[in-house]
Structure 1
């Protein structure tokens, strides 16, 4: 069976795509993208991602999640608080039929984003609560782990999570292998092509545990240029190059991995 690309982690409901969404979608399908796993960061996005799923039912696979960083008063990011999750919780249950995963959830212990222990405790509380929702709804989790790779994987293992995608993973290879052991998958965006920093990591993770993502509109080839799902081929070619495989093999295996992890996306 032939598969197209699966973008396992993108923000297609982001404001950056509002003005030319149809063109973005068209470029994605022309590039061979078959499924967009559409993550959310805050409750205000939930409705938008469902609308996009209704509009593109064969393409957009919606996820609900509250990200460890939230936008504060201005455009500054602040660490998530437990009350940020309150309005979201009933919606997970209300729309569970449509959801393919709980995400984007996780931990971000970057010092300027989570400067205090209280910030980290709040993030942990919100993360654990969403992991329990995922277990209850029998859904995988789509996970952010910045400056917190080891503790994120350890927490998921402690909470009995067996199905997880660690997106844009940048932890140590030894930490990644703990995740591999737990059965978790790892995805890499086009930004990995900017330098060779993650070659060792990509080499060590077995292909059966690798997925493709764009994280669009962020993490593209150029730092301040909007990224979009059509760029997923860049990640594919880069991973193929690092692993010494053909891009066709990487495309096929990563798509199979994605549908194994997100079985509901296969029925989109």
Structure 2
């Protein structure tokens, strides 16, 4: 991934607080003393929060050591935008799919569109897909329909899935076992040890985001996961890690999560960056 080369609109005016925050991030991300080579396995760079300064965000990521990233999608138009963003950009990949929050608007023809999009070489996964019973933004029945159809799409396209599961572990496990297709990653993992063990037994990767840095319960889960199944992500612009918690997240801040995970695993930051990068490459088959 290059630090420049994309053209974006001029940043819109921001509050002084936001500007100070951005400056702080820029100063911190200029340094990469550990020589890290990072893979942000899940970010939403098509989000409107990046509309004004995406080029600067990408530059900061590059300086911080992020060399690869996967841009995840939430609906069909978002999938199309992710493809446009990642097309012909070294180190930038994307996934396509319909998020459970979008399930009420999911239609059968969306699957046809997604299938047609799969010819794009930058597409490395179907997602993010799954079940979210926490917020109840979409009806559970509609979530299940959208989820099951997209699991079968992933199988047909021989692509891994990026799975979003929140307050729906039992039902998600049942549906995935029923379909018998187990390839992909549990993104932004927030489940318990039982869910983690189930996922690892079936060959899924487990990806941790910035909430790992402030949720001690997740550290205990991370310690029980085989190193060859661990990945990291930002889920930007959401879930910024400490000490940036509450601010807009961005790929450069994955360094904070990697360093925290290194402490949890008793590894060096470089070792942690390398193992999570290599795992992401295997999961998404980016080095074939």
Q: TM-score, normalised by structure 1?
A: 0.87
- Deviation readout 1:2-29 (Å, 9 max, x if unpaired): 9821111110111111110100001111
Is the CA contact (8 Å cut-off) linking 1:157 and 1:182 kept in structure 2? Answer: no
Farther-moved stretch of structure 1 (157-166 vs 26-35): 157-166
Structure 2: distance between partners of 1:256 and 1:18: 30
Q: Mapping of 1:183-198 within 5 angstroms?
A: 183-198=203-218
Structure 1: distance between partners of 2:109 and 2:37: 36
- Greater C-alpha Rg: 2
**Structure 2 unaligned runs (5+)?**
1-34
Counterpart secondary structure, 2:287: helix
User: Is 1:226 equivalent to 2:258 in the alignment?
Assistant: no
Number of equivalenced pairs: 250
User: Is 1:256 equivalent to 2:278 in the alignment?
Assistant: yes
- Structure 1 consecutive aligned stretches of length 4 or more whose deviation exceeds 6 Å: none
Structure 2: distance between partners of 1:13 and 1:158: 33
Structure 1: distance between partners of 2:185 and 2:173: 11
- Deviation readout 1:199-256 (Å, 9 max, x if unpaired): 1111111111110100000010244311000111111111111111111111111111
Structure 1: distance between partners of 2:250 and 2:227: 24
Shift of 1:157: 2.7
Q: Mapping of 1:237-248 within 5 angstroms?
A: 237-248=259-270
- Deviation readout 1:183-210 (Å, 9 max, x if unpaired): 0011111222123231111111111111
User: Is 1:58 equivalent to 2:90 in the alignment?
Assistant: yes
Structure 1: distance between partners of 2:198 and 2:215: 25
The equivalent position to 1:16 in structure 2, one of 37, 49, 64, is 49
Is the CA contact (8 Å cut-off) linking 2:71 and 2:93 kept in structure 1? Answer: yes
Shift of 1:159: 1.2
User: Is 1:266 equivalent to 2:287 in the alignment?
Assistant: yes
**Structure 1 unaligned runs (5+)?**
71-79
Relative contact order, higher structure (CA 8 A, sep 6+): 1
Q: Which residue of 2 aligns with 1:76?
A: none
Q: Which residue of 2 aligns with 1:95?
A: 117
